[in-house]
Amino acid sequence: MTEWWTYSLHSFLLFSPRVYWRLIEHYNQSLWPLQIPVLLLGFVVLYGLLRRQPRTWRAAWALLACGWFFVGWGYLDQRYAAINWPVKYMVPVFFLEGLLLLVLAARRPTDVRPGAGRRLGLVLLCYALAGHPLVTALLGGAWSAAELPGLLPDPTAIATLGALLGWKKSRWRGVLMVIPVLWCFYSVLCLLAIDAPAAWVMLGALGLAAIAGWGLVWTPIRKRR
Amino acid sequence: MSIHRPTFSRRILLKGLGALALATAFPAPALSAADPRMRLIPSTGERLPMVGLGSWTTFNVGGDQQLLDQCADVIAHFVKAGGRLIDSSPMYGSSQDTIGYGLNKLGRPGAVFAADKVWTWSVAEGREQIETSRRKWGIPRFDLLQVHNLLSWEGHLKTLFAMKAAGDLRYVGITTSDGRRHGELAQVMRTRPLDFVQFTYNIVDREAEQRLLPLAMDRGIAVIVNRPFQQGGLIERLRGRPLPSWADEIGAGSWAQFILKFILSHPAVTCVIPATTRVDHVQENVAVAGSVLPDEALRRRMAAYVRAL
């Protein structure tokens, strides 16, 4: 792309805010009342991570993996790609994240030490489960605009970041965070292009994840000194 | 205040005679040849209504039935008002499907001038993309195909000229937007036998007046103007500001009409393609072409007024 500096976010605008919010509302309406069990399963994930027993632990990560599969197929491929063509290239990426989470689900429970990282991870996970649906319903002006983890990509990515930051001690944690972080950035750009305030919410979640991530990296270094 | 109607060179007028022969081969325009709302396509002399319909962002509505019907309504009112040129691109999400839906609902009106683009890095995939676009529109062939944003333009132009020679396409063009790559575009205009060129031009983005518009006139290339309202941003900025008292003299009842009249009063401009989701807006846009256009002195006054706001 030549003269790339002359492009603004609005140069890449493909759809109007009205089309975007209507897409989410119609998607939610087509799934109703699936939102109720999905929300309950979200709390099962939280419970499984807090209990840290092998069976509940594995179930939690497997449920998160299912969320990535469902969002990749049900929302990105079947709905969102129709108005936002780059999204069709992200469908296999979502499936890859689901597969990686399944691999981790098969491994033994590991744990990060309780501390700031754990608390921020918990905050992110709780926000994805309860806060994000409320915020998006308020911004969208209808309950049908509420975005739930496991059904829509933004809260799924935030919930996964929270879970990984708070509970998964593994050299693979960084690898598993790449896709959720990239999605969050992409979503922020799309939301900014349509001047949606939800972009700032996503930026806040990313900022929180960055702080938690920095804490997890910095604390062991400081202790070694 | 003096008013002028656009004038054309003798060469273009002579080419217009050739249009009589073409009229038997191609669908006749909905409006009469003497209609002041029409402009000549220099390469053939065919006449085209000077207000077209863009589809960027506005027609990308996915499978939303209510919005699909709304867009179909816009297309219906555009055609009913005498509009012909509808422009789209494979880059515009579901816009091509929406146009196909709207045309199908209208019973496939023959007067529509179908303008689309080829937009892929791979020249080899160009034909396949064009065929996919054609199926989405649901038409036997495109009237105009343009290389979108000069992407792989050399290879795609070869494909398009070959299609034109084979009778699978009537006109060939190339596009850019927001003032990008004007130097390269000018070079293509000088060296290739283009029928159409498309770029951004409006009352505040006037770089095209320096080089592209005079070059198009000189080379006999029809000009399609995109983003007349800067994606709505220009109208948004002017909202709440008063139109000048003399806007009535040129029949501009709104900022949209004021801007469109400025664009269309440039003699090199063939067609402007505002995009909208609203029937009242499409009617307002098409109505611009039916009234008088400002002369050069008034154009300067219009630009100065907007600049001072």
Peptide bond into A155 cis (omega under 30): no
On chain B, the residues whose CB falls within 8 A of the CB of A30 are none
How many angstroms away from the CA of A124 is the closest CA of chain B?
A: 32
Q: Which residues contact B208 (CB under 8 A, 6 or more apart)?
A: B179, B182, B199, B200, B201
Residue for token pair 């146009």: B99
Query: Sign of dihedral through CA atoms B295, B296, B301, B303?
Result: positive
On chain A, the residues whose CB falls within 8 A of the CB of B62 are 19, 23, 79, 82-83
A85 in contact with B, Cβ within 8 Å? yes
Distance CA B113, CA B117 (A): 13
| Residue of chain B minimizing CA distance to A82 | B62
Domain locations in chain B as residue ranges: 47-308
B131 in contact with A, Cβ within 8 Å? no
Distance CA B17, CA A35 (A): 66
Task: Quote the Cα angle for A156-A157-A162, to 5°.
Answer: 100
Peptide bond into A33 cis (omega under 30): yes
When mean pLDDT is compared across A98-102, A157-161, B20-24, the lowest value belongs to B20-24
On chain B, the residues whose CB falls within 8 A of the CB of A11 are 177-178
Mean pLDDT of chain A: 88
Interface contact flag, A3 B64, Cβ < 8 Å: no
Q: What is the DSSP letter of B122?
A: -
**Encoded tokens for A61:** 């990560």
**Encoded tokens for A162:** 């929270």
Higher pLDDT pick, B4 / B115:
B115
| pLDDT of residue B167 exceeding 70 | yes
End-to-end CA distance of chain B: 22
Architecture per CATH, domain B47-308, reads as Alpha-Beta Barrel (3.20)
Q: Under DSSP, is residue B98 helix (H, G, I), strand (E, B) or coil? A: helix
| Segment B229-269, tens digit of pLDDT | 998 889 999 998 999 999 988 889 999 999 999 999 999 99
Phi-psi region of A186 (alpha: psi -120 to 50; beta: other; left: phi over 0): alpha
Distance CA B254, CA B247 (A): 9
Query: Sign of dihedral through CA atoms B149, B150, B155, B161?
Result: positive
| Residue of chain A minimizing CA distance to B63 | A82
Q: What is the mean pLDDT of residues B209-224?
A: 97
Q: What is the DSSP letter of A115?
A: S
On chain A, the residues whose CB falls within 8 A of the CB of B60 are 14-16, 19, 83
Beta pairing class for B47-49 and B38-40: antiparallel
A5 in contact with B, Cβ within 8 Å? no
**Encoded tokens for B88:** 């789209």
- The pLDDT confidence band at residue A219, using thresholds 50, 70 and 90, is low
Q: Which residues contact B57 (CB under 8 A, 6 or more apart)?
A: A13, A14, A15, A16, B92, B231, B275
**Encoded tokens for B75:** 């297309």
Q: Quick one: what percent of chain A has pLDDT higher than 90? A: 62
Distance CA A160, CA A181 (A): 10
How many angstroms away from the CA of B31 is the closest CA of chain A?
A: 33
**Encoded tokens for B143:** 């009237």
Distance CA A168, CA B48 (A): 65
| Segment B48-102, tens digit of pLDDT | 999 999 999 999 999 999 999 999 999 999 999 999 999 999 999 999 999 999 9
Q: What is the mean pLDDT of residues B33-46?
A: 85
ipTM metric: 0.86
